[in-house]
Amino acid sequence: MQNIKVAVDAVVFGYNSKDGLQVLLIKRKVAPFKDSWALPGGLVGDDESLEDAIQRELKEETGVNINYLEQLYSFGKPNRDPRNRVISITYYGLVRPDEFEIKADTDAAEVAWFNSKKLPQLAFDHREILTAAHERLKGKILYQPIGFELLEKKFPFSDLEKLYMAVLDRAIDRRNFKKKVLKYGFLEQTTEKQAHDGAGRPGNLFSFDVDKYYQLQKQGINFEI
């Protein structure tokens, strides 16, 4: 007789130019893995869609409400949860942490943002899930523009460079990157200058051409960074 439960888990990446790439985690207050950090998530209700379940779990455990999460992968090794046979349908998204007021509730004792390079020990197979999500995100930004939702309306070009380096977790050829990005036409150079930090002449600020940006998102492009 089959006795399999279905769960959902969310990898929520946060980004800002000051703190770089972060991950939203909860501290469990129930067994198993009590007091361990984990991804927000839980079991799907009998009358609940996967999308409704992940939104509910995020809201209950972290206070965060995200309009769009992309489905990542299914994780279903027989012993991934010591209580039952549980298959997890995982999701991921990229947001600005300062747009949310996080608050732990239900079976979460705490909730916090962690730098992606300084993560604690994670419960279950959540490190594996997180690694898969980061690899998917790295791949995605090479064929689809990312940044409109994460940067200020007007920003120095260096902020876009920092975003790509944070997600890719490596240095980029800055001159080539700027040339390639500007070629696509979804950035507009404004006449406004960035705040002067005392190092050289302040550069112009940029903004996104929203229509062109979403058109390229739908088409899919290849940056070959």
Q: How far apart are CA 158 and CA 177, in angstroms?
A: 11
Q: How far apart are CA 45 and CA 196, in angstroms?
A: 54
Instruction: Collect all residues with Cβ–Cβ distance below 8 Å to 197 and sequence separation of at least 6.
Output: none
Is 188 known to be catalytic?
Answer: no
Closest CA to 42 of 1, 81, 2: 81
Task: Give the containing element (helix H, strand E) for 219.
Answer: helix 210-219
Candidate list 48, 99, 110, 192, residue with the active-site label? 110
Residue 142: alpha-carbon gap to chain centroid: 15
Instruction: Collect all residues with Cβ–Cβ distance below 8 Å to 51 and sequence separation of at least 6.
Output: 69
> Residue-wise over 188-222: b if at least 16 C-beta within 10 A, else e?
eeeeeebeeeeeeeeeebbbbeeeebeebeeeeee
Q: Annotated active-site positions, please? A: 110
